[in-house]
Amino acid sequence: MKRIVVLASGSGTLAQAIFDAVRDGQLACDIVAAISDQKGAQVLDRAHRAKIETFTIPMLADRSEWDRELETLIAALRPDLVVSAGFMRILSHRITEKFRIINSHPALLPAFPGAHAVRDALAAGVSETGTTIHWVDAGIDTGEVIAQEKVAVLAGDTEESLHERIKIKERGLIVATIAALLPTLKQDSR
């Protein structure tokens, strides 16, 4: 059975979609851990309820020490795939080179990378945006695109209303992408 580690920083709705898909048999894998950089993140509660082991590694003043702690933990968990599901940290080159990591982003990359993608799409006046699943490299949302799904920008959309519609597509796309990737992953890849 393939091993997945989930990285998340916030409420965990995207992670919950993955947890539910494993529970419901849509994804044939084991989620071996959920790791957060935020002690009070709601995703940790969601993982506990799903009986998934959790770890918290708060950002340290010395970023290189934080990178080492995260790398050591992920390596000890021996994942076939790491899924960044709302993890609001840029991962170092040493981590992205060692592990196969995918990320979900609320825009049609390469348009609107970074933490404010939905706000940036609205400010640009685009008629559509969406969600992207991509491989993670050490850049900001610069890894190779795996899958995308479009979402129309509606008249009167706010950042919140548009983001909620994107999240619905994002949850389905991350699960479908993981399902498609699982058979291609070699044990102990990278």
Active site residue 105: yes
User: Which residue, among 13, 160, 17, 37, has the nearest Cα to 88 in the 3D structure?
Assistant: 37
The catalytic residue among 48, 93, 105, 116 is 105
Q: Say if residues 132 and 145 touch (Cβ distance below 8 Å).
A: yes
Q: How many CA atoms lie within 13 A of 32 on its CB side?
A: 15
Q: Say if residues 101 and 82 touch (Cβ distance below 8 Å).
A: yes
User: Which residue, among 108, 117, 110, 114, has the nearest Cα to 152 in the 3D structure?
Assistant: 108
Active site residues: 105
